[in-house]
Amino acid sequence: MSKVLAALNDQVIREFYSAYLYLAMTTYFADAGLPGFANWMRVQAKEEVTHANKMYDYLLSRGHKVVLGAIDAPPASWKSALDVMKAGLAHEQKVTGYINDLASLAVKEKDHATQIFLNWFVTEQVEEEQNFTDLVNALSLIKGEGQGLLMLDRELAGRTFTDATATADAG
């Protein structure tokens, strides 16, 4: 089994954890009476599942036997909407590190197909971090409360799920 494919198999589990984390955050927002934030986070969870499935399918296409491991329980509570988004940003930064490590390993191991495959994820992580950064900044400006919070909640209610992996060139 290639080191690269084994490491990518581990990332499949991390992507499913990301979805699980964002579902926990969805619950936080639903319980807090912020349905727009809950919607935004639910869409985020769906995106993470598509990322995991894209990696899963790639591994199968390379003849790798995928091994699915346990998914850790995510946190269940946060102090505020701003705290949730800061946690989401920190998580995406961690995922970026994992993706970059995978890309570096693919280069080191001269696995050209996986290098090309991972380019989509490298670019995707820039977008993921920017989305959370924008929300952290907006919540910081409005101090995470009042009319600003409600206006942002209404805006986030409009986010819809689009499977970006379905139109991606790689994989």
Q: Tell me if 82 is assigned to some domain.
A: yes
Residues 6+ apart with CB under 8 A from 142: 148, 149, 152
Tens digits of per-residue pLDDT, 61-113?
Answer: 999 999 999 999 999 999 999 999 999 999 999 999 999 999 999 999 999 99
pLDDT tens-digit readout, 3-17: 999 999 999 999 999
Picking from 121, 32, 141, the residue whose alpha carbon sits closest to that of residue 79 is 32
In whole angstroms, give the CA distance from residue 147 to residue 131. Answer: 21
Tokens at 50, concatenated: 């598509």
Range of the domain at 131: 3-166
- Classified as helix, coil or strand, 168 is coil
Q: What is the CATH number of the domain that holds 59?
A: 1.20.1260.10
Q: How many domains does the chain have?
A: 1
Would 171 be classed as within a structural domain?
no
In angstroms, the Cα distances linking 167 to 5, 9, 32, 45, 116 are: 23, 22, 35, 19, 15
Tell if the pTM clears 0.85, that is, is over it: yes
Q: Is residue 32 assigned to a domain? A: yes
Element (H, E) at 18: helix 3-31
Q: Is residue 34 part of a domain?
A: yes
